[in-house]
A and B are shown apart, each in its own frame.
Chain A
């Protein structure tokens, strides 16, 4: 238990569906992140939030839409996804925006399958 929870743990959706992934951190951290993890590939950073402000969007398709209503919660809204979007989506948090030795705390991830 890392102090970061994600729901749902598994999600199967069609290409025309709309769904949302939820992340909550109980650590009092100020920065939160969305990553995509595909088999045998490096973690891909998707979005970064610091104090509820988006500070980074790494050329992510618009079918992924993040939302950070407060420093403890982070959402990833999904719509009209493609099969290649099937992956493990990881949420992480850190004390501050990544700098020096700040480690990240990861949630268990949502395993997404797009059919």
Chain B
């Protein structure tokens, strides 16, 4: 079966760096997405990776290793507003999106 694994919850300190991991087993691969979802709000797109390597976008970076079935989202200079759930999703060979259950990130002062 197809599966996406990510930690359920993580805690980090304001101003620090945190890495949220995502591992996947899917039927084929057509890209990996990261979304951010604040409590009670819509998920919003953060990044898309289809090739191996690191994509940087401001304080957020996303890394992909297709051979390892692994991605991470790196958040730098954490701010209180970064407290949210982070959803990993992989597009399989049929262009179906397979979603992880999300990682709830708690930022402490």
Query: Residues of A with Cβ closer than 8 Å to B?
Result: 2, 4, 40-43, 45, 90, 97-101, 103-109
Is A98 touching B42 in the complex (CB atoms < 8 A)?
no
Q: In the docked arrangement, what's the CA distance between A4 and B30, Å? A: 25
Is A41 touching B45 in the complex (CB atoms < 8 A)?
no
CB distance from B3 to the nearest CB of A (A): 9
What residue of chain A has the Cβ atom nearest to residue B100's Cβ? A42
| Partner of B42 from A2, A45, A101, A103 at Cβ < 8 Å | A2
Contacts of A105 in B (CB 8 A): 42, 45
Interface residues of B in 56-97 (CB under 8 A from A): 87, 89, 91, 95-97
Query: Residues of B with Cβ closer than 8 Å to A?
Result: 4, 8, 30-31, 33, 35, 40-45, 48, 50, 87, 89, 91, 95-102
Is B48 touching A101 in the complex (CB atoms < 8 A)?
yes
| Partner of A107 from B8, B30, B31, B42 at Cβ < 8 Å | B42
CB distance from B9 to the nearest CB of A (A): 10
Known: A90-B42, A97-B95. 10 other contacts (CB 8 A): A40-B101, A42-B100, A43-B87, A45-B97, A90-B43, A101-B31, A105-B42, A108-B41, A108-B42, A109-B42
